[in-house]
């Protein structure tokens, strides 16, 4: 075994393993934080959260098409990112409208949680219908060639490539590369900024503290003079913002499709429950744990084994713990295990 | 103004259930009123109805001669009332200081002064101000709960069993605090299980039974009333 092989194995592990886990973990984190905040304040499992993410991505896509056709190109910043504020605003408005015209009605009549859950499933179906009506049923790429004033503009995903040229000179046979796409890079930046911002908001602002107070004890919050209706609105603003960011960046990194985020619902709920329902930073931890578990369950170790023990193994079969088709079973298994052993989550949250 | 708080012929309950059947509760300015009665008599329900947490089906609530029947708790806090419920009266995951800050949510400018005032009444809370309220002892939690209600400098403080679950020593402390608060001409309305001690400091006492006033008199007179003593005070006096 040579040093070059060790390096190859390590870079492959980071590139295909860790980076992937962090990418999907960031998406889960942004979604799970929203889910857990909504649960903490409104006390129900918001199943329509995934579709709020997809809705945000759809609006961002529409905005991107418009901007691109106006001839706007701001490389290296992806055009989709310019459309993000529009997506965030639209998703916030959508969340507030749904709350005002659907959930508020059941709050006023003091309905039991199961009614809210069923209602949010109904909202899911409605949103999925609207999303398909507006955006069609097909997949859509954020990066395409647009024609503006007879001039065609091409934008590609923009890869941030680390080729380790300086190392290659020293290690013959070191060929692996690290590849981060522009959307991934922005995803990491947005996730970090959003989570730091949220932490500051919840712990150092009056409204943020009032949110935690309502999550702790709604009746006492009212008695203290806290405007619970306003806290509910702020919650939707935050959840909508994070959902739109996550949906848009996910769609930019892969592609937009009508079931973009509905598929993420299970892992996001697993993350929120694992982190302790109602605990935003528990949800973040849960998100990265679920993402790491899921990624490494289906991670193909064959290339690594190939680099390290090429001479000793037969390298024809995949060396993943779980076949890729069963990826969704991993968060499901985590969810079941958490519910059995620690239903309050690792950070002692509420029980669903 | 004869009464700071004047609740008349209250009828209220939970859903279909009617608990209060026309009870009267009053507090004179700067005085202490105490509600006593058996478990389930409707004492806490009367407090909740006064504080706008239950729909008042009949009757009226006046605060400083202003009709506040059906007002939201938020409005009552603005007007100068503070309420400490019997159970779940702190925010467990918020720190002591954050709990107190929430008491002045409606007037952030009062926060600094309010914290100083509460810390001077309960010095122990200052040492524990960064600790989550859920990790405090029962007595300390009561202090946080009372402190929270006092942040806005209310003119009427409503306390539902402030001494529940505290040691006799802390109970004495809390009664002393109530007297101290009252000295600064804050009216107090409290529900107490320790009826004897409570009536001893009460200007007015109300004995409730099945949601109605069984007796209404001065604290002293109620203590001296053999009927009351036999049914509600327990033991000899
Ligand atoms: N949230 C509620 N829903 C339905 N019924 C309730 C509720 N809270 C109290 N009750 C009922 O109302 C009645 C009066 O309760 P309340 O809490 O006012 O009694 P209390 O006089 O404060 O008693 P205690 O001394 O035990 O605190 C009881 O019969 C109780 O079962
Ligand atoms: Mg009671």
Kindly list the domain boundaries of chain B, sorted by start residue.
5-232
Ordered DSSP codes for B66-126: EE-TT--HHHHHHHTEEEE-SSS-S-TTSBHHHHHHHHTTT-GGGHHHHHHHHHHH-HHHH
pLDDT attached to residue B183: 85
Nearest to A216 among B53, B92, B101 (CB): B92
Per-residue pLDDT of chain B (237 residues; tens, 9 = 90+): 889 999 999 999 998 899 999 999 999 999 999 999 999 999 999 999 999 999 999 999 999 999 999 999 999 999 999 999 988 999 999 999 999 999 999 998 999 999 999 998 889 999 999 999 999 988 889 889 999 999 999 999 999 998 887 788 878 888 888 888 888 889 999 999 888 889 999 999 999 999 999 999 998 889 888 888 888 776 544
| Closest ligand 1 atom, residue B47 Cα | 18
Ligand 1 pocket: which of B16, B20, B35, B40 to mutate (most atoms within 8 A of CB): B40
Report whether CATH 3.40.50.300 matches the domain B5-232.
yes
Among the bound ligands, name the one nearest to the CA of residue B46.
1
Which domains can be identified in chain A, with CATH numbers? 3-341 (1.10.3470)
Phi, psi angle pair for A67, to nearest 5°: -60, -45
For A216, the enclosing helix (H) or strand (E) is: helix A206-216
Read off the pLDDT of residues B183-210 as tens digits, 9 standing for 90 and up: 888 999 999 988 888 999 999 999 999 9
Cα–Cα distance for residue pair A118/A102, rounded to 1 Å = 12
Cβ-based contacts of B91 with chain A (< 8 Å): 212-213, 216-217, 220-221
Q: Which residue of A has its CA nearest to B106?
A: A225
Nearest to B74 among A217, A220, A225 (CB): A225
Q: Which residues surround ligand 2, an ion (CB under 5 A)?
A: B 43-44, 86
Cα–Cα distance for residue pair A279/B93, rounded to 1 Å = 10
Tokens of B218: 């001065």
Mean pLDDT by 10 residues, chain A (352 residues): 79 90 96 95 92 96 90 81 96 97 92 91 95 91 78 74 76 82 92 96 95 94 94 97 96 92 91 90 94 90 79 68 84 88 75 56
**Residues framing ligand 1 (Cβ under 6 A):** B 14, 17, 19, 37, 39-45, 86
Report the candidate in A261, A234, A283, A196 with the shortest Cα–Cα distance to residue A92.
A234
pLDDT attached to residue A350: 62
The pTM assigned to this predicted structure is 0.89
Tokens of A233: 């609105």
Nearest to A206 among B74, B105, B152 (CB): B105
């Amino acid at each position: 075994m040579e040093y070059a092989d060790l390096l190859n194995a390590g870079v492959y592990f980071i590139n295909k393993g860790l980076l992937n886990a962090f990418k999907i973990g960031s998406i889960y984190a942004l979604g799970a934080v929203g889910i857990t905040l909504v649960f903490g304040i409104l006390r129900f499992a918001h199943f329509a959260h995934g579709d709020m993410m997809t809705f945000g991505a759809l609006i961002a896509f529409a905005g991107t098409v418009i901007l691109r056709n106006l001839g706007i190109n701001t490389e290296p910043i992806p055009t989709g990112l310019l459309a993000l504020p529009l997506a965030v605003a639209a998703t916030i408005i959508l969340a507030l409208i749904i709350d005002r015209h659907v959930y508020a009605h059941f709050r006023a009549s003091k309905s039991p949680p199961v009614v809210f859950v069923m209602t949010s499933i109904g909202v899911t179906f409605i949103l999925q219908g609207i999303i398909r009506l507006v955006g069609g049923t097909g997949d859509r790429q954020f990066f395409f060639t647009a024609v503006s004033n007879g001039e065609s503009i091409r934008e590609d995903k923009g890869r941030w490539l680390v080729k380790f040229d300086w190392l290659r000179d020293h290690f013959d046979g070191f060929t692996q590369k690290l590849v981060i796409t522009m959307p991934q890079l922005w995803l990491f930046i947005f996730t970090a900024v959003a989570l730091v911002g949220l932490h500051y908001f919840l712990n150092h602002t009056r409204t943020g503290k009032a949110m935690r107070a309502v999550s702790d004890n709604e009746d006492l919050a009212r008695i203290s003079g806290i405007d619970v209706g306003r806290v509910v609105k702020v919650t939707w603003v935050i959840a909508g913002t994070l959902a739109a960011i996550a949906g848009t960046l996910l769609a930019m990194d892969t592609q937009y499709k009508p079931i973009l985020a509905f598929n993420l619902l299970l892992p996001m709920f697993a993350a929120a429950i694992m982190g302790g329902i109602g605990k935003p930073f528990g949800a973040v931890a849960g998100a990265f744990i679920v993402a790491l578990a899921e990624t490494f369950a289906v991670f193909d170790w064959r290339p690594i084994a190939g680099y390290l023990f090429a001479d000793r193994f037969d390298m024809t079969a995949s060396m993943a713990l779980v076949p890729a088709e069963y990826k969704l079973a991993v968060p499901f298994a985590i969810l079941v295990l958490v519910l059995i052993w620690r239903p309050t989550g690792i950070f002692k949250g509420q029980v669903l | 103004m004869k009464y700071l708080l004047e609740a008349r012929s209250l009828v209220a309950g939970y859903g279909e259930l009617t608990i209060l059947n026309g009870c009267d509760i009053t507090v004179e300015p700067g005085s202490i009123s105490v509600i006593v009665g058996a478990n389930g008599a409707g004492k806490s329900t009367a407090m909740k109805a006064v504080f706008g947490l239950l729909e008042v089906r009949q009757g009226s609530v006046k605060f400083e001669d202003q009709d506040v029947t059906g007002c939201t708790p938020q409005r009552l806090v603005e007007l100068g009332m503070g309420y400490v419920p019997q159970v779940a009266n702190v925010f467990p995951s918020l720190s002591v200081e954050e709990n107190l800050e929430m008491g002045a949510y409606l007037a952030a400018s009062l926060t600094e002064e309010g914290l100083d005032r509460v810390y001077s009444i309960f010095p122990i809370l200052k040492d524990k101000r960064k600790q989550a309220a859920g990790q405090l002892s029962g007595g300390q939690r009561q202090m946080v709960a009372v402190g929270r209600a006092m942040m806005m400098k209310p003119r009427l403080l409503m306390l539902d069993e402030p001494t529940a679950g505290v040691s006799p020593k802390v109970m004495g402390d809390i009664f002393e605090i109530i007297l101290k608060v009252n000295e600064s001409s804050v009216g107090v309305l409290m529900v107490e299980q320790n009826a004897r001690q409570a009536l001893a400091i009460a200007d007015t006492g109300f004995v409730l039974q099945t949601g109605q006033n069984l007796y209404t008199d001065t604290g002293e007179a109620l203590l001296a009333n053999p009927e009351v003593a036999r049914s509600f005070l327990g033991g000899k006096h």
